[in-house]
Amino acid sequence: MGKMRSVQRLEGYKIAVELENGSSFVYDLKARLSAVRFAPLVNQEFFQSGRLVGRDCIRWSDSLILYSHEMLDGMKR
């Protein structure tokens, strides 16, 4: 899987991701906000606090992490 070079939190619970290989995509989290795991992200301030960690995940807290492979796998479906 590609390592992330940068992430940018966008309006509407979208995340713009640039991979180290130069590819990029926008991942829409809005549909996942009803899941218990992602429900805290409804708070816009909290959503905006997510940070790229180790080039393979976005971390909002110790219990809320979104990995690059999850985003890419979810887009294939």
Instruction: Tell me the two tokens of residue 52.
Output: 């790229």
Number of domains making up the chain: 1
Quote the percentage of the chain above a pLDDT of 70. Answer: 95
Closest among 31, 58, 8, 60 to 69, alpha carbons compared: 58
Secondary structure element (H or E) that encloses residue 65, with its range: strand 64-67
Q: Which domain holds residue 50?
A: 4-76
Secondary structure element (H or E) that encloses residue 59, with its range: strand 57-61
Instruction: Tell me the two tokens of residue 54.
Output: 């180790």
The predicted model gives 41-49 an average pLDDT of 96
What's at 58, amino acid-wise?
A: I
CATH number of the domain within which 61 lies: 3.30.2020.10
Q: What is the pLDDT of residues 29-41, one digit of tens each?
A: 999 999 999 999 9
The pTM of the full predicted model, rounded to 2 decimals, is: 0.87
Q: What is the pLDDT of residues 9-22, one digit of tens each?
A: 999 999 999 999 99
